[in-house]
Structure 1
């Protein structure tokens, strides 16, 4: 252990103490050894619920406890067989409930693992992305604006580095960070040479040395204060809990009436009490919360398979209500593979061939290849130097000469055999990629196509400092040593850069930038933007040695060199997804920082209306007050030239109109809007840790089509929840009606307590679970969103549920009475008929509950193999009770003959029979008549 605090170490001392190298980082083998020695870089989380407690919790329900007490009483009264059977059924129910809840717990834990943040680390000389939990002391981290710091670290190098340490110190002002060492005892908030785990980088870039991980970090020391409760009920679960309370009261009242009525008729009190408790257990859908949880968790796993990671369960339900999707253009609606297509330098326009990140192509003027020299060479030099991206092949950052350029080898030779196989074994163009900003990647590739590699340029003109880009400044500068002096290279938005220029480079000469030339440049910018190109202006300035590196000093009096126009083509699947949204009643809004003309061109390609009244820019937004924005927002499809703070205003304006808003974001400044939205969506690839934590959903592939897929899954999950609510409550209504009507009408009880419990096990368990994983209904995305907060019985569900339950109960009573009549009062046979009719009627009903709009024959009886399997198992279990002598004695049943089964199938399946006749005969005949 070090003898003094890390903030008292100089960078060199810390590197020596931790045996690390700033340029190469740790070796992979050494990092693994330290991980094994120090443990994962994680705070000790509150332990989860152990499995045995989950199991015991299944016996905490009031009705189950009453049933267990009744079972003990029956054992004392000599009904040992009944007691054992009831206990067995209760235990089986508990096991099923435990499996459901345990799967839900494991599903959510898996999702938390998938959402684990990553960090950029230098190992074996390579820049890699690794899970934050694998960071070890001695690692070299690379930080930039928006990153959440993965561990406590000492600053080695920094350029405008700032950190928000409010979560740790309570200080809301960002703290500047710079290399150095501090003497004496320094409070946590004043340690300017360190960054701490859990804090956020709000500006600049930096290279830091990890000195503490996990519980050894400052956050680790106060981990108990940072524990967050992960469990969160969805609004739907809360509504169902409220519904459950009312159902309990109603069922208890009805069951009490059954007990009192039966006792007054002369039935024994114990038997009626046990029947009432059994009926209450069967009637109250105590498994509903567990099934909802499992349905949500399994649905969330389906979303993961479609690249949508849900961080907050309420988002699953809210997705089904979404009415507006506000999406960033770049990388979400487009491919995020910027390619420079056109450049303008020295008053001449050049086209650039080649696509994607493969550094192969040429520069042409009027169809003829041109040599790279003069103004064009200077333009490409700025593009390469004023740049922080890295060109990679097969995930390896490698130098120019190995890529076909004139640079030198710049990557690490770790991994040996795999390195060479990656380098030379792949001929696929897709093996070329960019680490860093896609726009900077396009500039880097454009320079490489001209034979200008940053590795060689940086040897000739070493970089000394950087003034980083941000969304407010809309420009970036680097300062390099050039000869005996300095030179600043600047790139940014054309309107911003043009205002900072007073000269232009023409044919190798610096000439004044007069009004006529400014107009020419602006006109050229408009022409390029009109082709849906994103245009950047590039400039430079020579500075005397010793110039103070400040934006105000180095970003003025610039010499404009030219413009570069690049295209980020729309994703092929985005246009289809937008069309699907329109069919589903969901409005799509495109948000971009690009020029208004560019935004219109891309919108047209995507199929978004973009006429004059349907496009707003940032200046127009700034001129509007909140009321006016709320008035015009519903009619706007495209927002161009906007800053992140506009997003927050837009979300509030749309919500003021009663819209349910999904908002995407990736940068730090997007986090407020993402958090304010009903469904905040963060980018998994390009998003910052801050935005991911504010979001309810993360797109693993940054793809707009994934949002639409998640909405479709959300609607499907909500539909499935309504399906099994309809099924469970319809069946329960049928059971209660059967017993209540028989009791008040003077009939013998159609069901024994043990039969009621068995039926609850057979029909409510597996079939209901199978409905929870049912296929999405056809036409799901052709329906409008369901209103948020609507009752679970909305849109006719309550009525259809009551009708189905009434018909199940009526069929059971008719068969029971018929059994008594045909059997001359043979009560065991009549009860067996009623018992089996009620079970079979519920198994028929489960197929009807698969759709609120379509016939079971249209949906397909065999399209859900889980449901077919569940129904088969339930029916087999019922047959065992009917025909296995030991079980006949326990459940007081008698074997049924073919005539009995004919009655049962006719009574239980008459709805299905009529539905089949209608689907296969009536509907085709009507269709034929319409066609004629």
Structure 2
């Protein structure tokens, strides 16, 4: 049988049904108890390929880099660099080129890092596997395993492929696939009907571990066809969408480019039409384009986000993609795990019930707890701590707290038989010697499994009601029952002989308490307009209890007991109701992915937590995938956008607050940068519309000095601004709302820009008129008014810089008054303002820079004039905001009144 050829049933891509009777499975896989021959294994390897998770081909590095270099803002920066070269400032041109390349490289590194999740999956496969070939055990590379191979599994082995157990049994750690740390028993035997693959008691799956036991198993799936390979495929198929900020910045960049090119073209034609020489018209068009290109925008956004990343890292949240900081600010739905995120992941013995004590501790409950602790397999490590299943550790620790501690060594010395926990029966039993001649059977397990085994007359109905009540309080419930054997009797030889005619000692309720800080964090979420759903593999009653304990489900909590059974139509209907928060219980990896997809299709911005390999596709698909740093797997951390170093739900809320602050700050420095476009463009408009009668009030080099010299540091400092009061008391912004909106443009271009343009043009004309200039008078080199003209353009340049100071102070707040945040609370901004004033003074008064930038020293009266600009610019904007606040306050009672009628 071992040497038969690969039949049609073993065609590549087809996986046999591992749950069919073992004889049929052997026949379909053409293998026997002696395994395959080496020649047959080689043939199958050629047909099925190596046993490894393959990743899909991705675009080449050069192609991805090119995509970053033709980003709209990058194109604008290329144009700015070209204009700098045209203007003869090679140093400036190369500086802009460097900015473009650094930004492109940074974006490329971020994207590549996000794609490493699939490669990390491969690390879960062992390097070698023990296999029966040619009738004898041998070790082969795990990648050479093929369907039909008979593998040997021993304690500590990593499972190398999906396989069906043929003999023996193992304790399997499935945490890589299920996220649950409790090992489960996998034994050779018939399969169960209608249960998920992960719960099949006779299957072992690639990437998991055998923590105890010994078994043989027949491989039925390798490589991409394993459960692990399927998850990898899901991760690769869920492509990352661009963040809202990335999309909006791209849109804004095209808008600016369009406006700049259109204005340049229109005014080029206008200049020629009014009789300007072509060279002057071209110079004007180039100046207009440079004035419209916000060279500092992209690096400033990048650095503001990087600052947000550093701040969050100190608070316990490591962000892997810069743009995710902003995405956090617009998040309006959090889908969270329960265990370890909302709870402490510390199972404790919390309540007892005995037929006599009725949930109150007493001698009988002490006997119950001691019996439960005897029916465990926990061991004591060299450091004195108990190690084993968390539930059993909780029972042993609970017995010690009750004063009836059970020593593992003494327990094992008096043990005469052990029937390990069977996931199908949901029971475990031991036979313990109570003295020299008497034995006692102790059984513990799920109440619905233990209660039918009680002797007649036992209070089964009352016990079931009590178990339901404990479960409703969020506890995991175990029933404990015993049977005393007659003196001198032999231990039962089988489970069936042991687990019968039992006497119920009572019920033990175990509880994993919620983290103390979570309730306050959930309350902050609700104040900020966020919805919190729980997506968990736990039972509905337990998860709902935790939800209520931390305040999730206000005003309404819905519990979906079997989430896997919910189809897309039902899911859409459930998630459409924004008032209800939902517990998705008994969820699978596909459930998480379906929930993330459904929320995205409804226009929500989703943060999804996860820690297991199975969570990787959903973490990849959510806008913000949040992995656990302590308990999470490498795969989850690779697939995520954010890693919580403290596994704490409250840190997610802190990150969302930080995201809102960063988004507000991005808007603040965009207002600041855009406000200078108007005073930079207006001089060229005046020059063109006057037909050259008014000389150019500003040169191209002076514009570049403003855009790349004086404006950058204050813009960066605005990116470090602290949050405005009430940042978490407003609802999340709609995902459709752009980072740049109409009100923002009115404020920057229309209000701050117009005020600044009026002031700087006033300074320009003041200097010229004081020197006796009239429209049309020559001001070129050699003309009597040439020095006055240089002084006037310098006044325009200095006026724009001082208006920048007023704009920077005004831009610090969008809603609040400046006194609410304090004038001196951003020392970086004060330092940035000091730098730009010193830089301007150097350009105005240092002879080498005067020659390069066409400036001249300003007399005292002009200095006093431009020094008055900052308070004028700030005061006009503060007045505008005060009027707007009053309007909002007067409108609020009316809206409240309408809402109640």
TM range (shorter): 0.5 to 0.7
Residue 398 (structure 1) aligned with residue 398 (structure 2) = no
Q: Give the corresponding residue for 1:537.
A: 479
Provide the TM-score with structure 1 as the length reference.
0.65
Q: How far does the alpha carbon of each residue in 1:123-163 deviate from its partner, in whole angstroms, 9 at most, with x for none?
A: xxxxxxxxxxxxxxxxx99979xx9999xxxxxx9726599
Q: Give the corresponding residue for 1:249.
A: 258
Give the one of 682, 687, 696 matched to 2:627: 682
Q: Give the corresponding residue for 2:461.
A: 519
SS at 1:331 equivalent: coil
- 1:884 CA displacement: 1.0
Q: Give the corresponding residue for 1:381.
A: 374
Measured in 2, the distance between the counterparts of 1:692 and 1:536 equals 34
Measured in 2, the distance between the counterparts of 1:70 and 1:694 equals 42
Instruction: Mark the CA change 1:647 to 1:760 in structure 2 (over 3 Å): closer, same or farther.
Output: closer
Instruction: Mark the CA change 1:371 to 1:621 in structure 2 (over 3 Å): closer, same or farther.
Output: closer
* Structure 1 unaligned residues grouped into runs of 5+: 1-9, 11-43, 74-81, 123-139, 151-156, 167-175, 180-193, 209-216, 220-224, 352-363, 392-396, 404-431, 504-510, 928-932
Q: Give the corresponding residue for 2:743.
A: 796
Q: Is the 8 A contact 2:544 2:583 kept in 1?
A: no
Measured in 1, the distance between the counterparts of 2:476 and 2:842 equals 72
Q: Is the 8 A contact 1:233 1:313 kept in 2?
A: no
Measured in 2, the distance between the counterparts of 1:922 and 1:63 equals 35
Q: Give the corresponding residue for 1:772.
A: 719
Residue 626 (structure 1) aligned with residue 608 (structure 2) = no
Alignment of 1:170-319 (within 5 A): 200-201=207-208, 205=211, 233-259=242-268, 261-262=270-271, 269-270=278-279, 273-311=282-320, 315-319=324-328
Instruction: Mark the CA change 1:493 to 1:861 in structure 2 (over 3 Å): closer, same or farther.
Output: farther
- 1:308 CA displacement: 2.4
Q: Is the 8 A contact 2:606 2:624 kept in 1?
A: yes
Give the one of 366, 385, 395 matched to 1:443: 395
Q: Is the 8 A contact 2:430 2:443 kept in 1?
A: no
Provide the TM-score with structure 2 as the length reference.
0.67
Q: How far does the alpha carbon of each residue in 1:275-316 deviate from its partner, in whole angstroms, 9 at most, with x for none?
A: 533442342134434433343343233333222234555644
Q: Give the corresponding residue for 2:807.
A: 845
Q: Is the 8 A contact 1:54 1:98 kept in 2?
A: no
Give the one of 334, 339, 352 matched to 2:343: 334
Q: Give the corresponding residue for 1:457.
A: 411
- 1:707 CA displacement: 1.6
SS at 1:775 equivalent: coil
- 1:911 CA displacement: 2.5
SS at 1:442 equivalent: helix
Instruction: Mark the CA change 1:592 to 1:46 in structure 2 (over 3 Å): closer, same or farther.
Output: closer
Measured in 1, the distance between the counterparts of 2:69 and 2:614 equals 47
- 1:574 CA displacement: 1.4
Q: Give the corresponding residue for 2:764.
A: 816
- 1:705 CA displacement: 0.8
- 1:882 CA displacement: 0.8
- 1:520 CA displacement: 1.9
Q: Is the 8 A contact 1:629 1:653 kept in 2?
A: no
Q: Give the corresponding residue for 1:750.
A: 697
Q: Is the 8 A contact 2:110 2:321 kept in 1?
A: no
Residue 614 (structure 1) aligned with residue 598 (structure 2) = no
Q: Is the 8 A contact 1:204 1:468 kept in 2?
A: no
Q: Is the 8 A contact 1:103 1:294 kept in 2?
A: no
Q: Give the corresponding residue for 1:711.
A: 656
Give the one of 567, 583, 606 matched to 2:511: 567
- 1:861 CA displacement: 3.2
Give the one of 778, 789, 807 matched to 2:755: 807
SS at 2:350 equivalent: strand
Instruction: Mark the CA change 1:489 to 1:660 in structure 2 (over 3 Å): closer, same or farther.
Output: farther
- 1:762 CA displacement: 1.7
Instruction: Mark the CA change 1:451 to 1:66 in structure 2 (over 3 Å): closer, same or farther.
Output: closer
Q: Is the 8 A contact 1:738 1:810 kept in 2?
A: no
Instruction: Mark the CA change 1:47 to 1:520 in structure 2 (over 3 Å): closer, same or farther.
Output: same
Q: How far does the alpha carbon of each residue in 1:760-780 deviate from its partner, in whole angstroms, 9 at most, with x for none?
A: 112442232333333222211
Q: Give the corresponding residue for 1:502.
A: 453
Alignment of 1:404-443 (within 5 A): 438-443=390-395
SS at 1:780 equivalent: coil
- 1:601 CA displacement: 5.4
Give the one of 771, 783, 803 matched to 2:730: 783
- 1:797 CA displacement: 1.8
- 1:444 CA displacement: 3.6
Measured in 1, the distance between the counterparts of 2:356 and 2:584 equals 28
Q: Give the corresponding residue for 2:792.
A: 830
Measured in 1, the distance between the counterparts of 2:302 and 2:616 equals 28
Instruction: Mark the CA change 1:756 to 1:275 in structure 2 (over 3 Å): closer, same or farther.
Output: farther
Question: Quick check: 651-660 or 252-261, which moved more?
Answer: 651-660
Q: Give the corresponding residue for 1:127.
A: none
Measured in 1, the distance between the counterparts of 2:299 and 2:864 equals 36
Q: Give the corresponding residue for 1:222.
A: none
Q: Is the 8 A contact 2:802 2:869 kept in 1?
A: no
Residue 325 (structure 1) aligned with residue 334 (structure 2) = yes
Measured in 2, the distance between the counterparts of 1:71 and 1:677 equals 42
Measured in 1, the distance between the counterparts of 2:677 and 2:327 equals 29
Q: Is the 8 A contact 1:335 1:570 kept in 2?
A: yes
* Structure 2 unaligned residues grouped into runs of 5+: 1-33, 35-56, 127-152, 162-167, 178-184, 189-202, 215-222, 227-232, 774-787, 890-901
Give the one of 827, 836, 847 matched to 1:885: 847
